Amino acid sequence: MGRYKSIERPPVGRSVQIEVDGERYEGTYTVDGSIVSVDTLLLGSRRGTVTDGSPATVARVLLLELVHLSKRRSA
């Protein structure tokens, strides 16, 4: 079992979706303290910190970064 900052219970995954160039991308994000983690089946995973704004907004930005990284690799 994984280790989490909050020892009470593991973070619960939430769905995140974006649309880029007419294509829809989706993943799951979790929040553990100020850390947001986005996981996708095809694009991998990415982590970021919540500073200003909501965890959902950070998750969408992280998913967008994964999409852009994937497109750069395949170009």
> How many domains, the chain?
1
Is the pLDDT reported for residue 1 higher than 70?
no
| Tokens read off for 34 | 């100020």
Give the global pTM: 0.83
What pLDDT does residue 2 have?
A: 47
What confidence tens digit (pLDDT) does each residue in 5-61 have?
A: 555 556 669 999 999 999 999 999 999 889 999 999 999 999 999 988 899 999 999
Q: Is 32 inside any structural domain?
A: yes
Q: Is 70 inside any structural domain?
A: yes
| Nearest to 29, CA basis, from 68, 56, 65, 66 | 56
The rounded distance, in Å, linking the Cα atoms of 63 and 47 is 10
Q: Is 4 inside any structural domain?
A: no
Domain range for 65: 14-74
Element (H, E) at 21: none
Question: Which residues is 27 bridged to in the sheet?
Answer: 16
Q: Is 19 inside any structural domain?
A: yes
More confident residue, 10 or 63: 63
What pLDDT does residue 9 have?
A: 59
